[in-house]
Structure 1
Amino acid sequence: MTELMQNPLGGLPDKRQVAASFSRAADSYDSVAALQRKVGSELLTRLPAQFSPQRWLDLGCGTGHFSRALAERFSASDGLALDIAEGMLRHARPLGGAQQFIAGDAERLPLQGASCDLLFSSLALQWCADFQAVLSEAHRVLRPGGVLAFSSLCVGTLQELRDSWQAVDGFVHVNRFRRFADYQDHCAASALQLLSLDTRVEVMHFPDLRGLTHELKALGAHNLNPGRPGGLTGRARMRALLEAYERCRQPQGLPATYQVVYGVLRKEPRA
């Protein structure tokens, strides 16, 4: 049995919007998730050698791709999959991988303390406003010697799109991400032992701007900022955006840069 605590899922309005956006994207997500697969696979390679958890949690499991990868890698272990988006969980459950699929918030995990050996989270924690709370919850839920392995995004992600919009109207049309220095500070201040923390640049290329915006919408990762401009974007502004982004074009196509953060932390083993 999973040691679940009665801790209702909650959050600020923007967090509910994140959950709703990813729920709507559940059926289209896997068709455009090449970057997400690449980043999650890289994160798997960063787990400590000879590490064999008895129970793992896929934190922000999405459609469950890496829940199934973890189940295959750690076949003798119990697996849990958690996501804030109910639509993602409905998609993931029939595909298996984890023993239980749980609706929950990374900042307030609905799990008892010292109940997991591995918290694996790929490209989910960038949506958490309070990263210090995420690390605190990880420390609470991990058993001594347990590992938190995460990938996330930092400032510089989608910079080409941000700069192009800035040239058009100055409004915020692109999701904000915390600085890498903030990840460094939060990890250093946490009760967890930092094993590694670094960034890697990934650049995707698209034949046109529509290809990029279609992918972001299919992922559920289009602009979720509070205070984003409302209403329809006028044709003149769209033409101006296309012209601005075209100035970024490379031989491979229009670039979309992602600044990916990789972190591995461990709860101190018992003496």
Structure 2
Amino acid sequence: MSEAVTVVVNGVENELPDKRLVAASFSRAAASYDAVAELQRAVGSTLIEVLPGGMKPERWLDLGCGTGYFSRIMANRFPASDGIALDIAEGMLRHARPQGGACAFVAGDAECLPVRDASFDLIFSSLALQWCDDFSAVLGEAGRVLRPGGVFAFSSLCAGTLQELRDSWKSVDGFAHVNRFRPISVYQRHCAASGLRLERLEVRPHVLHFSELRQLTHELKALGAHNLNPGRPGGLTGRARIRALVDAYEQFRTPEGLPATYQVVYGVLHKD
């Protein structure tokens, strides 16, 4: 298995998970994913809302399609179009394929798309690109496979996501228990250098609330998005440490419950 990639931002090293671990984790989670995907549905719906008005793509690509939820929505939204659903996790594709929505379901990597140049009028990618090591390569591939006038619309996660959980673990031990994500400055820099015309790039916090911490940790596992960091602790976590974590997280409790904040990046770029 390949080594994790280290990204250096402002002198600070951040290791991103090995994509093979990501693919395996999401493949295992395919059957449980939709039942706990409240955030994913909300973010993807917002991304559809910020698409340029009047779009009528002949061909679209759902990049990081997961269970195909938004492939089916786009098939209904653009009934005269042909769509391709692509994901790095073959388990997700096996789950999505029988439900339809796309003309083809393809296993592939966003950093090296297995499609021809100038193939699509729209690339839609919701909450998948945070797992990619090289965001500049993703943008380069988007520019390659889009037709002139095409649109690349994405949502992703940036630094500050699950900060409550990160801070609570920090008070317990020194291990990396929460997935790391790029700062917004990295998205800004790569979008500016991509050769694509940037229409929108913004961060919107999205807060979920849970009555108990174990509901959050169960949801992360069911999504396949639990801790995939290099250097994560192995083996079972002892009761004393879990109790300490629960106690630490309680300081964040609000009348709505225990918050879990996701810092969501929305981007829309055009190929002129």
TM-score by length of 1: 0.94
RMSD: 1.1
Q: Deviations over 1:11-37 (max 9, x none)?
A: 766111100000000000000001110
Hey, what's the Cα distance between the residues in 1 that align with 2:101 and 2:2?
A: 27
Distance 2:117 2:105 in 1: 18
* Structure 1 counterpart of 2:238, from 234, 240, 258: 234
2:57 to 53, 60, 64: 53
Deviations 1:133-179 (A, max 9, x none): 00000000000110000000001100000000001002110000000
Aligned pairs for 1:132-147 within 5 A: 132-147=136-151
Q: Which amino acid in 2 is paired with 1:234?
A: G
Alpha-carbon distance between aligned partners in 2 of 1:115 and 1:210, rounded to the nearest angstrom: 44
1:206 is displaced (CA, Å) by 0.4
Unaligned runs of at least 5 residues, structure 1: 1-9
Identity rate of aligned residues, in percent? 73
- In structure 2, what is the equivalent of residue 112 of structure 1? 116
Which residue identity lines up with residue 127 of structure 1 in the other structure? W
Superposed structure 1 runs of 4+ greater than 4 Å apart: 10-13
CA distance in 2, matches of 1:50, 1:252: 38
Match of 1:4 in 2: none
Rounded Cα–Cα distance in structure 1 between residues aligned with 2:249 and 2:3: 33
Correspondence 1:41 to 2:45:
yes
TM-score, normalized by length of structure 2?
Answer: 0.94
| Match in the other structure for 2:253 | 249
Aligned partner (choices 89, 92, 96) of residue 88 of structure 1: 92
Asked if residue 179 in structure 1 is aligned to residue 170 in structure 2, the reply is no
- Aligned partners of 2:60 and 2:81 also within 8 Å: yes
Q: 2:33 aligns with which of 17, 24, 29?
A: 29
Distance in 1, Cα, partners of 2:255 & 2:174: 28
Partners of 1:53 and 1:263 in 2: how far apart? 18
What does 1:166-245 correspond to in 2, within 5 Å?
166-245=170-249
User: Distance in 1 between the 2:230 and 2:196 partners?
Assistant: 31
Residues 1:126 and 2:140 aligned together: no
Q: Residues of 2 paired with 1:146 and 1:258: CA distance?
A: 29
Equivalent residues of 2:175, 2:231 under 8 A apart: no
